[in-house]
């Protein structure tokens, strides 16, 4: 290679120095900008402390909705076979209070549920600050929950009810002859630091929906759940709904990046207690707790083992009894619908549906098939 004149070499050296300096300044400026919102900052916070972060303020306009499209987890619903039987169970056994009943039919209901010719009876019930919605399809009737469905199947979902005392709550459920889903109450050991000392038990409602009672020791869970064991109340409220997912990272892209929920905690649960809680031999779970600015949490359960759970049935419809539905509030519904469209969320509703009372909503499925009703305030 021929040698360059000294003057040319000098100019080139100087030009390289200027480029390197510019790159350094650009990098410095980038690193000095704080992370704001999004999954990256939430992951950093959760991995450092494993404790729930303080709730963000509710979104109040289009700019806020773009950063956090969902302002609340409003309620969790399930399809039931006999509404009156289910109301009696949740009211008389678990202490829920009926706050509203209605009967619906018509085109808006058909489009929102994806069920032609639908006629429903529904009731909203409250426990503490949280609500559930029970819906019976008078027509057309759906299918029952398969007896072989397990806790690691993707269609699995439950609500976790915080209690003042796990032994007292379990004795109450036994007195009402509830069906077990766990072998008995389990207290998670110190080998699972994020969940150590938490006690829980899975049981079933009259249709076979799995429910959980959960007791948090001091320093864990929402401070609201730290009621004295001798409190007159046994059942306090709904801490979270849990859903089984095939791939946590894929679900985080949907719930955090698209819908703006934040990570509130993470844990990897295993051991004989976890196996007996889920009634799945060899269970090892990656658990990720998500939160909106208000309402109960959404907990992602990924079974690292055994990984043989069945996919959500592809022919599921809203009138099938294994269908749960989580209602989310979107202050800017049209923008949220566009975000869901970009994320290629599977639609149950053909588009945003307006019911006769003027309420607007859209029903979609998450990447694993769980139903979400996204509604305007």
- The string of pLDDT tens digits covering residues 93-109 is 999 999 999 999 999 99
The answer to whether residues 243 and 157 touch, using CB atoms and an 8 Å cutoff, is yes
Q: Encode pLDDT of 295-317 as tens digits.
A: 999 999 999 999 999 999 999 99
Flag whether 42 is in a domain: no
Flag whether 32 is in a domain: no
Confidence of residue 67 (pLDDT cuts 50, 70, 90): low
Percent of the chain with pLDDT over 70: 82
| Residue 151: pLDDT over 70 | yes
| Residue 32: pLDDT over 90 | no
Q: Encode pLDDT of 242-300 as tens digits.
A: 999 999 999 999 999 999 999 999 999 999 999 999 999 999 999 999 999 999 999 99
**For position 227, what pLDDT does the model report?**
83
| Residue 231: pLDDT over 90 | no
Flag whether 21 is in a domain: no
* CATH number of the domain residue 121 falls in: 3.10.180.10
| Residue 45: pLDDT over 90 | no
Mean predicted confidence (pLDDT) in 134-146: 97
Flag whether 152 is in a domain: yes
Flag whether 323 is in a domain: yes
- Counting the structural domains of the chain, the total is 1
Domain residues for 336? 62-375
Mean predicted confidence (pLDDT) in 207-224: 96
**For position 11, what pLDDT does the model report?**
40
For residues 17 and 215, the model is more confident at 215
Flag whether 174 is in a domain: yes
In this predicted structure, which of 31-40, 103-112, 145-154, 174-183 has the lowest mean pLDDT? 31-40
Confidence of residue 88 (pLDDT cuts 50, 70, 90): very high
Percent of the chain with pLDDT over 90: 80
**For position 49, what pLDDT does the model report?**
33
| Backbone Cα Rg of the chain | 24
Flag whether 362 is in a domain: yes
Flag whether 49 is in a domain: no
Question: How much is the mean pLDDT over the chain?
Answer: 86
For residues 59 and 113, the model is more confident at 113
| Residue 6: pLDDT over 80 | no
């Amino acid at each position: 290679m021929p040698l360059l004149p000294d003057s040319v070499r000098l100019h080139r050296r100087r030009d390289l120095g200027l480029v390197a300096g510019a790159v350094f300044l650009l990098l410095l400026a980038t690193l000095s900008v704080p992370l704001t919102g999004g999954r990256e900052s939430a992951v950093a916070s959760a991995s450092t402390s494993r404790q729930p972060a303080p709730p963000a303020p509710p979104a109040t306009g289009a700019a806020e909705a773009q950063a956090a499209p969902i302002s609340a987890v409003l309620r969790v619903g399930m399809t039931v076979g006999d509404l009156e039987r289910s109301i009696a169970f949740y009211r008389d056994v678990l202490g829920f209070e009926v706050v509203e009943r209605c009967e619906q039919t018509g085109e808006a209901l058909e489009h929102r549920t994806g069920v032609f010719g639908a006629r429903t009876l529904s009731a909203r019930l409250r426990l503490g600050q949280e609500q559930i919605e029970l819906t019976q399809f008078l027509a057309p009737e759906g299918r029952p929950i398969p007896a072989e469905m397990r806790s690691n199947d993707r269609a699995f979902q439950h609500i976790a009810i915080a209690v003042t005392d796990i032994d007292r709550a379990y004795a109450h459920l036994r007195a009402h002859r509830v069906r077990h889903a766990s072998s008995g109450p389990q207290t998670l050991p110190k080998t699972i630091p994020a969940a150590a000392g938490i006690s829980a038990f899975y049981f079933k409602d009259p249709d076979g929906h799995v429910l959980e009672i959960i007791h948090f020791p001091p320093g864990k869970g929402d401070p609201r759940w730290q009621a004295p064991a001798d409190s007159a109340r046994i059942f306090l409220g709904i801490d979270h709904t849990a859903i089984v997912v095939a791939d946590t990272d894929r679900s985080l892209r949907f719930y955090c990046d698209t819908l703006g929920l934040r990570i509130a905690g993470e844990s990897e649960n295993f051991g004989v207690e976890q196996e007996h809680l889920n009634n799945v031999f060899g269970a090892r779970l990656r658990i990720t707790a998500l939160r909106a600015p208000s309402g109960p949490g959404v907990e992602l359960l990924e079974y690292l083992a055994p990984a043989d759970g069945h996919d959500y049935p592809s022919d599921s419809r809203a009138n099938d009894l294994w269908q749960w539905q989580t209602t989310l509030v979107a202050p800017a519904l049209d923008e949220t619908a566009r975000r869901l469209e970009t994320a290629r969320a599977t639609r149950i509703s053909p588009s945003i549906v307006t019911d006769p009372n003027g309420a607007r909503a859209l029903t979609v499925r998450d990447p694993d098939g769980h139903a979400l009703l996204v509604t305007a305030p």
